[in-house]
């Protein structure tokens, strides 16, 4: 009887398949020496065992022996040409050897077999980047991120390709995402900010001057404790959509975004909490609310989430990202947002005919389905839907496009600190509620 139970058993398997299964289990536990012995045992029983050849080839990669890996993986493919994994690992081995054209061909074959093979998309991007085909590399990395959205190394690879294309602000977003997933990569972000300063010294210097002025106001400011006004940023009621790559991405992906929003049930929305209505009803479906990600809602809308996390959106306590639904007859009274550090973007999803619009300062505009409106919500603004149909827009806060990556990194850190302080203070007051009550009784 084959020994297919405990993979740590010292009993020698009596079939190639049994040895292979035990080797796989040990390989998964990173017990490479024991796994290698069992792969070799499988091959001694069946010299052409495709699985053993493939995974022994992978093990050779992990041992930094790419030449040996290539030989084994080529043999595996000869036995089973339909094994996408063998083609992928062969591509990685060839990439390791600097044979990028052949590596790319291997990844293309793997993807022809499994179109959504995330690791193959990742390494296809690396081969394309090495071959100088950077726009194609970016597209491959983006497709890979759609499969593995929390992969810090993939975020760094995409950042490098974007940086090579001169798309510094977008590169910064993905480098920052990588650090969010793995704080050990902080130095990578610092280096990226340094390179930005070297490539665009005038812009970087202007940003540092604004930042220093902002920090200086902490010494003298008494009137506005929230410190929402950031100096030197262009101010206008409405801004050019073309200045925000994320807004353009929303328009390009309108059909998919609309489908995701229309699939939401009315019961999944909640009443807006700020109580800004003069009349009517205002309901929202939140993706991020002041630095808190709603994981369940984001999973419901992958296209929207991917755009949010691939652009300079405000995912700190200074920002909101949500679907907004104004019921018929609703009027949101004039009000001001807390800071000019952000610009607010509305993508029209469902816009009824009739009196339905947005006023910012003295300028009034009407939404259009599939198009974005970008405005400075630190200026007085109001919105209304005086029709018989609901109005639905997607609202995304973006960092002001005048801000440099270094300024955004500083402001994000400042917002995280402020959020931590607020949470800590709340916990302190909650934990000490009883003692405060007793103290008050003492003086009564």
CA 307 to chain centre: 8
Residue 441, domain member (yes or no)? no
Asked whether residue 167 falls in the same domain as residue 252, the answer is no
β-pair partners for 375: 238, 344
pLDDT at site 419: 60
**Structure token digits, residue 226:** 């929230």
Q: Residue 161's closest CA among 180, 145, 149, 174?
A: 174
- What is the chain's alpha carbon radius of gyration, rounded to the nearest angstrom? 28
Residue pair 160/192 in contact (Cβ under 8 Å)? The answer is: no
**For each of the chain's 444 residues, which pLDDT tens digit applies?**
344 444 444 456 779 999 999 999 999 999 999 999 999 999 999 999 999 999 999 999 999 999 999 999 999 999 999 999 999 999 999 999 999 999 999 999 999 999 999 999 999 999 999 999 999 999 999 999 999 988 999 999 999 999 999 998 899 999 999 998 999 999 999 999 999 899 999 999 999 999 999 988 877 766 665 557 899 999 999 999 999 999 999 999 999 999 999 999 999 999 988 878 788 899 999 999 878 999 999 999 999 999 999 999 999 989 999 999 999 999 999 999 989 999 999 999 999 999 999 999 999 999 999 999 999 999 999 999 999 999 999 999 999 999 999 999 999 988 877 665 444 445 545 555 555 455 445 444
Asked whether residue 187 falls in the same domain as residue 294, the answer is no
Asked whether residue 242 falls in the same domain as residue 134, the answer is no
Last residue of a domain, one of 199, 216, 251: 199
Q: Can you give the residue range of the structural domain that contains 94?
A: 16-199
**Structure token digits, residue 409:** 């990194």
β-pair partners for 346: 373, 395
Query: Which residue do the tokens 């220093």 mark?
Result: 212
Residue pair 76/43 in contact (Cβ under 8 Å)? The answer is: no
Q: Please state, in angstroms and rounded to a whole number, the distance separating the CA atoms of residues 244 and 370.
A: 16
Domain count, the chain: 2
Asked whether residue 146 falls in the same domain as residue 256, the answer is no
């Amino acid at each position: 009887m084959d020994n297919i139970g405990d993979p740590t058993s010292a009993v020698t398997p009596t079939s190639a398949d049994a040895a292979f299964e035990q080797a796989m289990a040990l390989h998964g536990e990173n017990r490479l020496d024991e796994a290698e012995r069992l792969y070799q045992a499988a091959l001694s029983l069946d010299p052409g065992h495709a699985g053993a050849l493939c995974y022994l080839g992978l093990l050779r990669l992990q041992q930094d022996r790419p030449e040996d890996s290539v030989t084994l993986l080529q043999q595996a493919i000869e036995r089973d040409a339909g094994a996408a994994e063998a083609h992928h690992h062969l591509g990685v081995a060839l990439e390791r050897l600097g044979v990028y054209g052949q590596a790319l061909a291997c990844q293309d074959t793997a993807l022809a077999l499994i179109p959504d093979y995330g690791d193959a998309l990742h390494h296809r991007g690396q081969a394309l980047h090495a071959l100088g085909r950077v726009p194609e590399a970016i597209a491959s990395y983006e497709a890979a991120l759609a499969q593995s959205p929390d992969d810090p190394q993939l975020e760094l690879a995409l950042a490098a390709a974007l940086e090579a294309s001169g798309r510094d602000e977008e590169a910064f977003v993905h480098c920052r995402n990588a650090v969010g997933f793995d704080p050990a990569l902080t130095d990578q972000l610092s280096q990226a900010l340094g390179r930005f300063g070297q490539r665009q010294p005038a812009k970087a210097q202007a940003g540092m001057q604004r930042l220093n002025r902002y920090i200086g106001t902490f010494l003298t400011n008494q009137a506005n404790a929230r410190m929402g006004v950031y100096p030197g940023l262009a101010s206008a009621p409405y801004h050019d959509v073309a200045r925000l790559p994320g807004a353009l991405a929303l328009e390009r992906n309108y059909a998919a975004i609309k489908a995701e929003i229309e699939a939401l049930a009315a019961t999944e929305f909640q009443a807006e909490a700020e109580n800004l209505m003069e009349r009517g009803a205002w309901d929202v479906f939140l993706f991020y609310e002041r630095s808190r990600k709603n994981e369940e809602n984001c999973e419901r809308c992958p296209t929207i989430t991917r755009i949010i996390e691939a652009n300079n959106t405000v995912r700190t306590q200074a920002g909101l990202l949500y679907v907004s639904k104004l019921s018929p007859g609703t009027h949101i009274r004039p009000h001001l947002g807390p800071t000019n550090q952000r610009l607010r973007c509305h993508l029209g999803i469902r816009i009824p005919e009739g009196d339905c619009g947005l006023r910012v300062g003295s300028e009034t505009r009407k939404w259009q389905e599939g198009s974005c409106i970008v405005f400075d919500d630190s200026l007085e603004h109001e919105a209304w839907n005086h029709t018989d149909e609901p109005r639905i827009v997607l609202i995304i806060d973006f960092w002001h496009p005048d801000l440099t990556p270094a300024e955004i990194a500083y402001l994000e850190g400042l917002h995280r600190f402020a959020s931590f302080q607020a949470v800590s203070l709340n916990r302190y007051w909650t934990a000490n509620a009883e003692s405060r009550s007793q103290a008050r009784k003492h003086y009564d």
